[in-house]
Structure 1
Amino acid sequence: MNQSDSDTIFNGGVSSYGGIEIETPSTSAGNGPMSASSLNNADSSANVSGGPTKVVSHSPLIVGSTMNRDLRRPSGLSTLSGVFAPVALSMFSVLLFLRMGFVVGQLGFLMTVVELLLAYFIILLTVLSLCAISSNGAIEGGGVYYMISRSLGPEFGGSIGLLFFIANVFSCALYVSGFTEAFMSNFASGDLSNGSWKFFYCVCVSVVLLVLVLLGSGLFAKTALITFVVIGICFGSFIATVLFRSPMNITVPVSNTYRYEVWVNESDPSAGKEVDLNQTITANYTGFSFATVKENLFTNYTFDYTTGKKTDFALMFAIIFSGVTGLMAGANMSGELARPSVSIPRGTLNAVFTTLGVYILAAFLVAASCSNDLLQNDYGVMMDVNFSPLFILVGIFATTFFSSMSNLIGASRVLNRLAHDKLFGAVLSPAAYEVSSGNPVASVIISWVCVVLVLLIGAMNKIAKITSIFFLLSYMGVNIATLALELTSAPNFRPTFKYFSWYTCALGIVSTVTMMLVIDAAMSAIAIVILMVLIMFLHYQAPPGSWGSISQALIYHQVRKYLLLLDSRKEHVKYWRPQVLLLVSRPASCCPLIDFANDLKKSGLYVIGHVHREGTFNNSDAVTSDPLQKVYPFWLSLVDYLKVKSFVELTISPSVRHGVQQLIRLSGLGAMKPNTVVVGFHETQRSETTLNETKLLKDLKYSKIGRNDVVEYFTNADYIPNVGSANELHGNPTERLDSEEYVSILKDALHLNKNLCVARHFTFFDKDMVLKNLNKRYIDVWPVDLLKPDQTGLGWDNSCLFLLQLACILSMSSRWKSATLRVFICVNSLQDMHRRERQLKEMLGHLRIKGKSIVVPWDHVVCHFTDGNASVKDSADLPRPYISAMNEMVRRHCADTAICFMNLPLPPEDIANSEQYLELLRSLTGDLPPTLLVHGLSSVISTAL
């Protein structure tokens, strides 16, 4: 490997220290790659000498004047019309008018209150998480999807967002169908009530919804307030009925055929029952009476006359919970609210507690005025006892119609935000169209078409369960997002809403999952599988979002905690692993070595280090900019394109040697520090290889910096010096490292107690081609100390054992498992070769290393050393014939060798012998396969359990 001075130094630039950064709400996920030229020109106009410091944004964030901008939208909706009314109306649904009497009749008043409190407790946990997220920053349109995606990232947010869109579409269809059924049961008859007419009525209702939603959020707000007032009047009519209407008998509806069954033959029970609709069966309405309250105080489970199924606690809870799950209606309006971060928490909480109070009041009123027989046998008891049944009928129409309208708006807003974020590519691009007022008309029309298609499919009861599960998945996503933000302890997570903790978030997750299983375990499993498939799809297909990654924050939080627990004083040889620092000058010629070192680390630390050799600062009083800030992204992109698992450490130093010392001392963190330094060889001629020639750069679907820009940067940086201004660092990038400085670097690594590896012949190493070649199937190890040729026994020192350990680790790598490890031991021909081979096999077995043992006679090699050279102490003084003979012997055995490991002779004491030492290494490794010269200092192999 050739050591070159430096890469290009960029002009100007200002680092932002302590700047305040606010996320731009309009940021989308589809950011284009950053080019080398654009990065060179970035921040070039920053003023750094004299005057105030100029804060520069390095990401799609707003700084400075944005802090003073009023985040209020003047034309937006208020808390009352935009959040409170939609949430309250969605949570009333049909439970208030059609199901509350039946629930009280089965559960009794006390258990009804318990189940209401339990359901609202589960809902409140999610509401607390929703309030926390919504009060932590500016919110745009998209509601729940926007919050989850900006907290958990595009994969989880996009998948939850799509399911939430589908749930809103299905829910809208369900409410439209419910509205139509109520209308037909009261006003249609004969041929006008068949299936075709029902679909026609549903489409007509949906068209009215479409027109209202297309007219904008202002009309929706007015509709919400009017509907809320109407429902208040309708419920008020029931209160007045209970307080002022006299007792009477109410006829049980004929739809309850079970109540109209009579024995065919009273004397013969085996004859069974039949329905007799000619009789009149009544139940008592008592008016307000404490005696009636006492009658309806406790549970009295019978069966549901519409399905014939026996009732129990779980069934009643499912009815209650399914009726109060509209808590996201206000969040869906986030893009239309004047102050969403204030309105969503305030309006949602008030709506939750208001509806809870109304439900408890409704439960008490029906328990105090209707007999248990009436409650159990008449779903429409509130309508039948009312002064005017029309009030309750209008209430039913109002709740179902508004809920369907709210779902259509929610679906369109989520779809519009998904289209803007480009998570699903061009498929959703038409949905991004908006009119000048900001109303997403395209998303509204697409959502309406989906609703009509669902109505055409029919089977509403089957769809209802999966819809509820999709809604619960979105609630779970909100809780997960808040829990993740809380666990990261991120300083910028400072929601103004404080009434939550990680306990409430965790309970919210558990409760939503539990409810999913209670509703339908099989469908819940299917929904989770769909969610996982969408997450995987978006992980590989969606462009990376520039919203910040919660996973990175969580990883940082956990890694910091565990790094503090990792104690270097507790290291043990049994758990030793290589932690590699690879020193790189020219990436163009080092890509094969970078890839090879990645196979050596065995789950250990891998750091790629580079020194920019520059002069000293001309102005020592101020650091104008750090050129490495602009260089660093290109190195990270290079690592991405090579697909190696490594860190990158860059430093600036007046000399490469001093820079390497910095890297060796400072690379890593805590107990994760490099213990092995790998360097390329100092060749006599500089390699002219470019990144264009390497096959190791892989294709990435998305990258901050394009592949061509990375190639261009590292090509230009090797040859084109960048002449900067007077305040910059200066150097000569074309000057090469001399032999004395190179050898000094080797000595420094050993003096700093690091294992040392010198790699040669890796410039054109094609690992894939080698491993595909069945002939190149060996990893050779030559544990021979050239300074002590007389010590040919198996009493190996740490250096030889380290050499063997590295070769063993390489053979354990998944990509090298097809290669065979060969260990060579050199002996005199007079010695017992078979005995030595047996000893070597036993030793390898003792060390649990799988490999072939080969004994090689080397009398013809060692004779060149013993001829008057017995007192050689310095590697630079080793006889050249001795080294040449050693090289020739290795070459004879390496015809089928992929990688060769050899002992590295220690660098000479006298630095003046550097060139002589390098010439010795050239002679030793000449014409060999890719070779790693290794000198180990630490004990790395353990035979103990």
Structure 2
Amino acid sequence: MAETSEVDRKGPSLGTFAGVFTPSILTILGIILFLRAGYVVGSGGLLGALLIIGLANLISVLTSVSLSAIATNLKVKGGGDYYLISRTLGLEFGGAIGIVLFLAQAVSIAFYCIGFGEAVAATTLLPASSVSPRIVAAAAVAFLFIFAWLGADWATRFQFVVMALLAAALVSFFVGGWLRWDAEVFQANWSAPADGMSFWVLFALFFPAVTGFTQGVSMSGDLEDPGRSLPLGTFLAVGVSMLVYFGASLIFAGSLGGTELTADYTAMNRVAWVPWLITVGVIAATLSSAMASFLGAPRILQSLAADKIFPVLTPFAVGSGPADNPRRAVLLAAGIAFLTIALGNLNLIAPVVSMFFLISYGLLNYATYYEARAASPSFRPTFKWFDKRLSLAGALACLGVMLAIDPFTGVLAIAILFAIYQYLRRTADPARWADSRRAHYLQRVRENLLAAGLSPEHHRDWRPQILAFSEDAERRPRLLQLAGWLEGGSGLTTVVTLLEGKSLLMSKRKDEAESQLRRDIREHNPAAFPLVLISTDSEVAVQALLQAHGIGPLRANTILLNWLDPQNTTGLALRTFLFGRQLKNLFKLGCNIAILYARPPAWERLRETEPGASQIDVWWSADATGNLMLLFAYLMTRSEAWRKARVRVLAFRESVPQEEQQESLDEILRDARIDAEIVFVAAREAAAIVAASASATLVFLPFRFHGDLVALPVDGPSEALLQQLPPTVMVSAAKDIDLGAEPEEGTAAALAAARDLLEEKERLAEQTALELGEAEEAVQRAEEILHAALTGPAIDRDPARVADLTAERDRAVREHAALRRRAARMRFKAEQAREAFEDQELMLSDEGDQSSGEAAGGEQH
């Protein structure tokens, strides 16, 4: 075993400055600052450069907000971006981003070292053409490998030296720029030149400068207090780098003309007070960026390997010493870096690497928004400036920048990530941790249930919500499979097992029964949910469960169970009576009943039948049960096992002509939009049913309650008929389903009609009120005219005129009285219409009461 260093014995001990601020700031203040910032100012003008810097750093700030929220909500361990994303969006996203981030950072080591080699080769430190930049780059990788091998603490000591050199270079630049400041040059550089490059091209050139602010996250496993250090160190790095870039742009704009800035990438040397310090700064910047990637890449790989998402990577989970230094991952990262340097051509690789970093920032923002959107009580970040809308804006900004920089490369990077995601989705084992997806699903369930509860119920919305009762583990698989077929991918099934006894003594039995139930569900119908109930009275428990099961508009509407065990003939008559009585009581609560009768050999034949040779027989019943059976038969054809099944509707001959009966059934099938063959059977006898359905794979039979017994459509004992048929599902519908319902029909239409009636009655009441007011004015005018005629000069009192005015006054009074009575009637009708509308709203808001009401009287068909 290798000897452990001093830091290995101490364990994770890096603070904010050494563990987060230093690697982040050294990666941000990189080669773009020294060799491209002046070019951006010269080509885009100072105003354009400031906008580019501001927009690029906006993404940094938004992502830093997201990072701070997640870092203060959970204990961040090794792996950085990978750890945060995988623990939020799940192992598929985490594994995909983890592998591409490791490769991106490993290639970045070579990328920065090649930049270092070119910078060294361009100086006078070495004879011209005596050393290839690749050899210098390889030597740099070997040099940095030593620090990465020794551990994070040794690497950060080297970074302190690099930071000192970088600071000296920047001081030299700002002092030289202050001494060379020229206001006229500054004014001339304010706007972009006429022949300058476009805004987005310059943005694409500059943006890699800000893609280093999450380097501290990669060191999370070596931090003493990640929850405090990550937010503080990241924001400090982003803030300081913003000041440096804005200040450098101002210095460039006031020191050199636009032509000089665009013609010379090394313009910073011309501005600096001590030019050779800039060369040292370029070398330091490339080495610091390479060192940061050398520290981050192995820790991402180690965390990814520890999660055992990719089995081939498992050996890289091993670390050295108490600090768990990922030396095996360091070796692999160095190997990739050497291989990349040997290949030499990074023109195709570098853009994809940058896209991977952008994807990681975008996913980090989206993961934070996803977590906050789930509204889980466990999401309690202590970072008080967080807002989920900022995270969503950060995710969209990253996507927009990717497409603006290079749509093709952006789509290529997303395609690679998506391919890895799909691979993991199909091959990865269950995650070893809890992520936020379940909280997100539960929040969506809550929102959708609340929304569904506000909408009126309609026949078109009906879905099978099944309660499947099963206490016999041997017959349970058949029931589970049937439930999955009847759902047709649209409903839900809860499998219920009842245990009788005192709850204090039944805890162990309940756990055992639930474990067995889960195993059966996992094998035969993974879409079902288990439920084990303990009760001293199973009949009371079932009735209570049926009324209480579900939430909001999502209520059980169908009971599914096995027929009495045909192998047990002891007390069969009594058991049949009790069985029918219990079902009858449940039926009265408004729930459809479906009973499966299937002997093991017959069921095995059903399972072995090829989908194309399957046949479903529906014995027609011209009522709600017929519609329900027909719908069940159609839903079965949605499943893969019955997709090509032939559906037949079998009907007994009636007294009406066969053509009329045929036309009626054809119309029912057309309205229901279900393709089925119609077959008529002459005799209503058990033998006729057996003969007609002998070739069927599965049979649907209607039943009704005859007293407390289950009665089939023909006379005779039910057991005798069922034994001669293929597997059979007996159905009785408590509530009708209109298979041909139009959107304009149903409860929504009734509510709309009630609203229209209310509006019409209120309009008539208002119009009558206006007419009554006019009649009152007419009476008042007639009184005034008559009064004037009676009190005027005697010579003007014409008896005939007075008589006419009196008659006019009386007519106005009669009309007013009639209108007053009419207005009272209109107000009363408007009030009645309002009460009816409110009653309709109240009725629609209580779907459970409505279902029970509609079930009344449905016992006999």
TM-score of the superposed pair, with normalisation by structure 1: 0.73
The structure 2 residue matched to 1:534, chosen from 415, 420, 423, is 420
Displacement after TM superposition at 1:552 (Å): 1.5
Is the partner of 1:460 in helix, strand or coil?
A: coil
Letter in 1 for 2:692: H
User: Which stretch shows the higher mean deviation, 899-908 or 472-481?
Assistant: 899-908
Displacement after TM superposition at 1:932 (Å): 1.2
Structure-2 separation of matches of 1:736 and 1:295: 105
Are 2:468 and 1:582 aligned?
yes
Q: Given the superposition, is the C-alpha separation of residues 768 and 340 from structure 1 closer, same or farther in structure 2, using an over 3 Å criterion?
A: farther
Are 2:725 and 1:928 aligned?
yes
Output aligned runs, 1:517-666, within 5 Å: 517-567=403-453, 570-617=456-503, 628=510, 631-632=513-514, 634-666=516-548
2:586 — aligned with what? Answer: 749
The structure, 1 or 2, with the larger RCO (C-alpha pairs under 8 Å, 6+ apart) is 1
Displacement after TM superposition at 1:508 (Å): 0.6
Letter in 2 for 1:683: D
Structure-2 separation of matches of 1:214 and 1:557: 46
Structure-2 separation of matches of 1:835 and 1:298: 86
Output aligned runs, 1:867-906, within 5 Å: 886-906=685-705
Structure-1 separation of matches of 2:491 and 2:504: 37
Q: Given the superposition, is the C-alpha separation of residues 231 and 767 from structure 1 closer, same or farther in structure 2, using an over 3 Å criterion?
A: farther
Structure-1 separation of matches of 2:605 and 2:484: 12
Displacement after TM superposition at 1:834 (Å): 5.3
Q: Given the superposition, is the C-alpha separation of residues 579 and 610 from structure 1 closer, same or farther in structure 2, using an over 3 Å criterion?
A: closer
Q: Given the superposition, is the C-alpha separation of residues 567 and 114 from structure 1 closer, same or farther in structure 2, using an over 3 Å criterion?
A: closer
Are 2:167 and 1:232 aligned?
yes
Is the partner of 1:461 in helix, strand or coil?
A: coil
Is the partner of 1:779 in helix, strand or coil?
A: strand
Are 2:623 and 1:807 aligned?
no
Is the partner of 1:179 in helix, strand or coil?
A: helix
- Determine if contact 2:614/2:642 at 8 Å carries over to the other structure: no
Structure-2 separation of matches of 1:145 and 1:599: 40
The structure 2 residue matched to 1:818, chosen from 622, 638, 644, is 644
Structure-2 separation of matches of 1:640 and 1:175: 51
Is the partner of 1:822 in helix, strand or coil?
A: strand
Is the partner of 2:495 in helix, strand or coil?
A: strand
- Deviations along 1:281-330, whole A, 9 cap, x unmatched? xxxxxx2222332232222254xxxxxxx622222222221112111111
The structure 2 residue matched to 1:192, chosen from 106, 126, 130, is 130
Q: Given the superposition, is the C-alpha separation of residues 95 and 897 from structure 1 closer, same or farther in structure 2, using an over 3 Å criterion?
A: same
Displacement after TM superposition at 1:543 (Å): 1.8
1:451 — aligned with what? Answer: 337
Output aligned runs, 1:4-23, within 5 Å: none
- Deviations along 1:528-551, whole A, 9 cap, x unmatched? 111111111111222222322322
Structure-2 separation of matches of 1:576 and 1:408: 59
Q: Given the superposition, is the C-alpha separation of residues 133 and 844 from structure 1 closer, same or farther in structure 2, using an over 3 Å criterion?
A: closer
Structure-2 separation of matches of 1:736 and 1:516: 75
Letter in 2 for 1:595: Q
Structure-2 separation of matches of 1:773 and 1:138: 52
Q: Given the superposition, is the C-alpha separation of residues 407 and 681 from structure 1 closer, same or farther in structure 2, using an over 3 Å criterion?
A: same
The structure 1 residue matched to 2:325, chosen from 430, 433, 439, is 439
Structure-2 separation of matches of 1:768 and 1:921: 21
- Determine if contact 1:605/1:646 at 8 Å carries over to the other structure: no
- Determine if contact 2:203/2:405 at 8 Å carries over to the other structure: no
1:180 — aligned with what? Answer: 117
Is the partner of 2:475 in helix, strand or coil?
A: helix
Q: Given the superposition, is the C-alpha separation of residues 238 and 856 from structure 1 closer, same or farther in structure 2, using an over 3 Å criterion?
A: closer
User: Aligned pair count?
Assistant: 727
Structure-1 separation of matches of 2:732 and 2:585: 13
- Deviations along 1:603-660, whole A, 9 cap, x unmatched? 44332332332322469xxxx9686466545533432322442222321112332332
2:39 — aligned with what? Answer: 102
Displacement after TM superposition at 1:510 (Å): 1.3
1:487 — aligned with what? Answer: 373
Is the partner of 1:906 in helix, strand or coil?
A: strand
Q: Given the superposition, is the C-alpha separation of residues 484 and 75 from structure 1 closer, same or farther in structure 2, using an over 3 Å criterion?
A: closer
Q: Which protein shows a greater Rg?
A: 2
1:772 — aligned with what? Answer: 610
Structure-1 separation of matches of 2:650 and 2:177: 100
2:680 — aligned with what? Answer: 855
- Determine if contact 1:590/1:762 at 8 Å carries over to the other structure: no
- Deviations along 1:179-214, whole A, 9 cap, x unmatched? 001111113445524xxx333222111110110111
Name stretches of at least 5 consecutive residues in structure 2 with no aligned partner.
1-9, 743-861
Displacement after TM superposition at 1:808 (Å): 3.8
The structure 1 residue matched to 2:68, chosen from 123, 131, 134, is 131
Output aligned runs, 1:909-924, within 5 Å: 909=708, 920-924=717-721
User: Which stretch shows the higher mean deviation, 763-772 or 233-242?
Assistant: 763-772
- Deviations along 1:91-116, whole A, 9 cap, x unmatched? 00012222222222222333322221
Is the partner of 2:704 in helix, strand or coil?
A: coil
Root mean square deviation of aligned Cα: 2.8
Displacement after TM superposition at 1:906 (Å): 0.9
Displacement after TM superposition at 1:838 (Å): 4.8
Is the partner of 1:608 in helix, strand or coil?
A: strand
Q: Given the superposition, is the C-alpha separation of residues 323 and 301 from structure 1 closer, same or farther in structure 2, using an over 3 Å criterion?
A: farther
Identity between Structure 1 and Structure 2 (%): 28
Displacement after TM superposition at 1:234 (Å): 1.6
Structure-2 separation of matches of 1:616 and 1:918: 42
Structure-2 separation of matches of 1:317 and 1:836: 75
Displacement after TM superposition at 1:889 (Å): 1.8
Structure-2 separation of matches of 1:372 and 1:891: 96
Higher helix share: 2
1:242 — aligned with what? Answer: 177
Structure-2 separation of matches of 1:578 and 1:149: 36
Displacement after TM superposition at 1:236 (Å): 1.2
Displacement after TM superposition at 1:436 (Å): 4.1
Q: Given the superposition, is the C-alpha separation of residues 768 and 502 from structure 1 closer, same or farther in structure 2, using an over 3 Å criterion?
A: farther
2:561 — aligned with what? Answer: 679
Is the partner of 1:679 in helix, strand or coil?
A: strand
Displacement after TM superposition at 1:459 (Å): 1.1
- Deviations along 1:57-98, whole A, 9 cap, x unmatched? xxxxxxxxxxxxxxxx87511111111111111100012222
Displacement after TM superposition at 1:832 (Å): 4.5
Q: Given the superposition, is the C-alpha separation of residues 746 and 461 from structure 1 closer, same or farther in structure 2, using an over 3 Å criterion?
A: same
Structure-2 separation of matches of 1:466 and 1:148: 20
Is the partner of 1:138 in helix, strand or coil?
A: coil
- Deviations along 1:848-886, whole A, 9 cap, x unmatched? 43222222221xx6xxxxxxxxxxxxxxxxxxxxxxxx3
Displacement after TM superposition at 1:560 (Å): 0.6
Displacement after TM superposition at 1:841 (Å): 3.6
Letter in 2 for 1:192: S
- Deviations along 1:367-399, whole A, 9 cap, x unmatched? 222233322222212223434332111111111
2:181 — aligned with what? Answer: 288
Q: Given the superposition, is the C-alpha separation of residues 685 and 768 from structure 1 closer, same or farther in structure 2, using an over 3 Å criterion?
A: closer
- Deviations along 1:324-358, whole A, 9 cap, x unmatched? 21111111110111111100100110111111111
- Deviations along 1:546-595, whole A, 9 cap, x unmatched? 32232211111111111122239822234333322211112332212211
- Determine if contact 2:302/2:316 at 8 Å carries over to the other structure: no
Structure-2 separation of matches of 1:293 and 1:773: 80
Is the partner of 1:749 in helix, strand or coil?
A: helix
- Deviations along 1:129-173, whole A, 9 cap, x unmatched? 111111112111111111111111111011011111111112111
Q: Given the superposition, is the C-alpha separation of residues 568 and 212 from structure 1 closer, same or farther in structure 2, using an over 3 Å criterion?
A: closer
Q: Given the superposition, is the C-alpha separation of residues 755 and 416 from structure 1 closer, same or farther in structure 2, using an over 3 Å criterion?
A: same
